[in-house]
Amino acid sequence: MIFKRLEFGLFVRVLLLLAMMFLTLEYLVQYTWLQVMSGLLILLGQVWELSRYVTRSNNELAKFLQAVKHRDFSQRFNEHTTNSSLRQLHKAFNLINDTYKQLHIEKEAQFHYMQTILQMIDTGIMAVDAATGEVEWVNDAFKNTLGVPYLKSVANLEPRYPALHEALKTIEPGESKLLKLKLPKGQSQLLLSATAFTMQQRDLLLIALKNVSATVDATETEAWQKLLRVMTHEIMNSVAPIASLADTLGRHLQMEREKQEQEPEAVPDPELLEDTAEGISIIKKRSEGLLRFAHFYRNLNKSQQLMLTTVYVQELFKSINGLMRPQLEEQGVELSCNVSPPGLHLNADVNLLEQVLINLILNAKRAVQGRPQPHIQLTAQQVDGKITIEVQDNGSGIPEELLENIFIPFFTSHKDGSGIGLSLAKHIMLLHKGSIQVESKEGVGTVFKLVF
């Protein structure tokens, strides 16, 4: 509509200009020079008016674009001018101004909103020019953590916190660093992380600073508690059968001593002597195994070296039977062993393998409590080139919904359980490049398989 009116006005003015030129030429032929000069002046006036009419819209547009360039949206254009084409143009300019002004207000509101949030959080935030190290913006949490009233450059931190200054200079986008610094509130551990972004063609680095001392302390305390639970669990599992075996040997020796006092000339029972020697040997081996386990667990975070030897399964079962039988017999649990073929052997760390079997037998002993004719069966055989050791019980079984969780560290379904034995057994089997499997049916029993 504006352009149609502009074209119409231009057409009328050009038409009048042509008419005036025609009249001026007529005057030049028929009339005096005064009339001709009057015509020329009128003609020049029309040319000037035409030029002004054509450039008026351009001038208004130039004024509007200049205001936009300087982000001056306060300027208002007259919407009540007599020129209808300019009136429409001014309305459009004012509408654009109002829109930009509203967007600017919303942007400022969002900026202040985000600034308020960043000031309220307890994590220190700082925006730094990646090239110069100048601080663009920093929140109060950052300054309060370091105890500085203001911060204009990363270089200002060097005199008070040289380690932090070096970390800020070398940190890469996406990297995190843990620093120990002596702050005004005492020794603290700070987590430093960085993210890169670009604003107004400048590379900036957004630094986050978090005092994680309390979190690290809590994590360390929890780790120590878990460590104590693991060590207590494994030590008790080994010490209980040793104590039970030692008690049985002590009672047998006491009975033999009393017999010798009553019959001084009686010959010592050779079977008792043999059982005593065997019991002492088992106690010695299990004590050494417990020391080996403690050393192994201490080095869990290092590259672990297994003490692999040729282990004859028949001898392994004999040692486990001698160690666990007294404790199981006290609770009426029968333990039987079967190896096929008798000479079956494998390469393994015997101390760690004994630890796995002790854990599985103790779990089975708990499962068969209260069951008629409680029984635990140890079986070893070779199937398809792989050696499988099974620990089978006729206990209460494991609910199907719990089977997938039993190897998770510290998961347990018993109120007095630790959730350590099975996760440790799985870890030891993985170190042997083997696996541990379980089959269970509620009310029937459970079978754990060690596959080498």
Taking only the tens place, the pLDDT of each residue in 129-188 is 888 888 888 888 888 888 888 888 888 888 888 888 888 888 888 888 888 888 777 777
pLDDT in tens, 84-95: 666 777 787 778
358 and 264 within one domain:
yes
Q: Closest by alpha carbon to 422, among 401, 445, 449, 384? A: 449
pLDDT in tens, 5-22: 555 665 666 666 666 666
Distance of CA 7 to the CA centre of its chain: 68
The domain that holds 201 is classified in CATH as 3.30.450.20
Residue 92: Cβ within 10 Å count: 13
pLDDT in tens, 98-138: 887 777 777 777 767 666 666 666 788 888 888 888 888 88
Instruction: Indicate whether 111 belongs to any domain.
Output: no
The pTM is what?
0.43
Which residues lie below 8 Å from residue 3, measured CB to CB, with a gap of 6+? none
The domain that holds 430 is classified in CATH as 3.30.565.10
Q: Which residue, of 74, 106, 138, is where some domain finishes?
A: 106
Distance of CA 126 to the CA centre of its chain: 23
437 and 335 within one domain:
yes
Q: What share of the chain is helix, strand, coil (3-state, %, to 5)?
A: 55, 20, 25
174 and 151 within one domain:
yes
β-sheet with 124-129: strand ranges across? 135-138, 124-129, 202-211, 186-199, 176-183
331 and 234 within one domain:
yes
Instruction: Indicate whether 113 belongs to any domain.
Output: no
33 and 136 within one domain:
no
Q: Give the C-alpha distances (Å, rounded to integers) separating 214 from 119, 139, 189, 209, 218.
A: 22, 22, 9, 14, 6
Instruction: Indicate whether 115 belongs to any domain.
Output: no
67 and 203 within one domain:
no
Tell whether the model's pLDDT for residue 426 goes beyond 90: no
Instruction: Indicate whether 114 belongs to any domain.
Output: no
Q: Which residue, of 153, 186, 211, is where some domain finishes?
A: 211
Range of the domain at 265: 220-451
93 and 58 within one domain:
yes
pLDDT in tens, 256-297: 677 666 776 666 667 766 777 776 776 776 666 666 666 655
